[in-house]
Amino acid sequence: MNIRPKVGVVSCSGECCSLGTLSRIATRLVLENLRADDTVTICLPLFLAGSSEERWFAKMFPTVAVDGCHRLCAKKAITKYSAPTAASVDVESLLEKWGVEAPANRRDLDASGVRLAERVAQAVAEKVDEHRRKATRLPS
């Protein structure tokens, strides 16, 4: 029996700007729609508060950080308290690369914001796929 481990997807908490909202919605799209059978999430605030279960998972399994901005808080936290991330998505860098403006509203995304979240989610799903194939960190 070949059991493939799940990939953790951790979104930044970024409540202060629309990029945080975009990263959280994109993460939910990956978890619930695009890669529902292959992913789980880690609660970043619980992780930062010292949850041994959250930190153990991020140490033992591939984890993709989805950060809203260049500060890369999720990636830095995972690396500091568990292990290097298997991959990282910087939403702000993606938007710059695509030549797209961040959504104007930090609370609710309009139709174009939702389409942008779907595009970001696809980029995250690609990172999940890369690391599902590699199975970089397996439990010991």
Q: What is the pLDDT of residue 140?
A: 44
Residue 108 to residue 87: CA distance in whole angstroms = 27
Q: What is the pLDDT of residue 17?
A: 78
pTM of the complete model: 0.88
pLDDT tens-digit profile of 11-65? 988 777 789 889 999 999 999 999 999 999 988 888 999 999 999 999 998 999 9
Listed residue (76, 100, 89, 71) closest to 7, CA to CA? 89
Write down the H helix ranges in 1-140: 18-29, 44-48, 52-60, 73-81, 91-98, 111-134
Element spanning 67, H or E: strand 63-67
